[in-house]
Amino acid sequence: MEDIDISQNKMAESAQRVVDRAVEESRRRDHTLLTNEHVFLAFAQVEWDMFSQVMRDLDLNPHAILQALEEHLKIVPAFADRDMRVAPATKLLFKLAFHHASRAGRQAIEAVDLFSAIFEESQGVPVSIIRRHGVEPELLVSRIATRMRDLELREERLRKRFELPPFLKHFATNLNQFARQDKIPPLFGRSDELRQVMEVLCHRERANSVMLIGEPGVGKTAIVEGLARLIEFEPETIPLRLRDCQVVNLQMNSMVAGTMLRGMFEDRIQNV
């Protein structure tokens, strides 16, 4: 396939997923051109939550919009034996997306930049579909920008909330952040142990250190990760004292590494 004039290091992961899906959709339909319609469809599939929210904000049915797009793609000629090329309008789309990202202060194109760039042009199938449903593309771009600002503010608040102290971040990971990013699986079959851990942590009259003992692989770490998930997603089910807590996984291997001189390890422990 032809180069799209944007290097991969200028593509964020979200944008790359959209491009990959657009190429996949074009090939699946035996289309010789990668067009804005494929990018539009790919964004809707990969970023369904944002797409559907923006459509509903404008009183549009997201499924009806995609159905209209599918009807157009069905009439595009298929040529299975030809190499895929990038349509001129789509090459321009990527340049517009890069400028859109630059204006927003981003170094790489995000998926939302591709989506916004589609409607910054006055022509094109996606634009005509939106207009047929009574919405001007300028309004759609404005709603997308509002959604993006809200998302960035929310991510910044979460970043500040999960940020560890400078010294600690070299040797530890924040399990609450992993839970929020859905990198920790749900915990099953350990509700009794988890409840006991919370009871011990809430003791005020005596030391509240918890020690989980067992053979490797029996689920000690899973219990701790389960607590982090509860704090993030079900705070109403845990004691009030624990609701604002951060669960930190201290990597002892990292703590020990490089402690060649006497007292270095002890200093690290004290700083932590």
Question: Which pLDDT tens digit goes with each residue over 59-72?
Answer: 999 999 999 999 99
Residue 223's pLDDT is 92
Question: Is 47 within 8 Å of 62 (Cβ atoms)?
Answer: no
Residue 25's pLDDT is 92
Quick one: average pLDDT of 109-137? Answer: 88
Q: Which of 198-212, 232-246, 254-268 has the lowest mean pLDDT?
A: 254-268
Q: What is the pTM of this model?
A: 0.65
Domains of the chain (ranges, CATH numbers): 8-158 (1.10.1780.10), 163-271 (3.40.50.300)
Q: What is the pLDDT of residues 154-213, one digit of tens each?
A: 878 888 888 888 778 888 889 999 998 888 999 888 889 999 999 888 887 776 677 788
Residue 37's pLDDT is 94
Residue 208's pLDDT is 65
Q: Say which residue, 193 or 264, is predicted with more confidence.
A: 193
- Cα–Cα dist 227/221, whole Å: 10
Work out the percent of the chain whose per-residue pLDDT is above 70: 94
Quick one: average pLDDT of 215-221? Answer: 87
Q: Which of 16-30, 39-53, 80-94 has the lowest mean pLDDT?
A: 80-94
Judged against a pLDDT cut of 70, whether residue 8 lies above it is answered with no
Q: What is the pLDDT of residues 55-107, one digit of tens each?
A: 998 999 999 999 999 999 988 887 766 678 898 899 999 999 999 888 888 88
Residue 160's pLDDT is 83
Q: Say which residue, 125 or 150, is predicted with more confidence.
A: 125
Residue 3's pLDDT is 55
Q: What is the mean pLDDT of the chain?
A: 85
Residue 259's pLDDT is 77
Residue 61's pLDDT is 94
What are the two backbone dihedrals, phi and then psi, of residue 233, each rounded to the nearest 5 degrees?
A: -110, -20
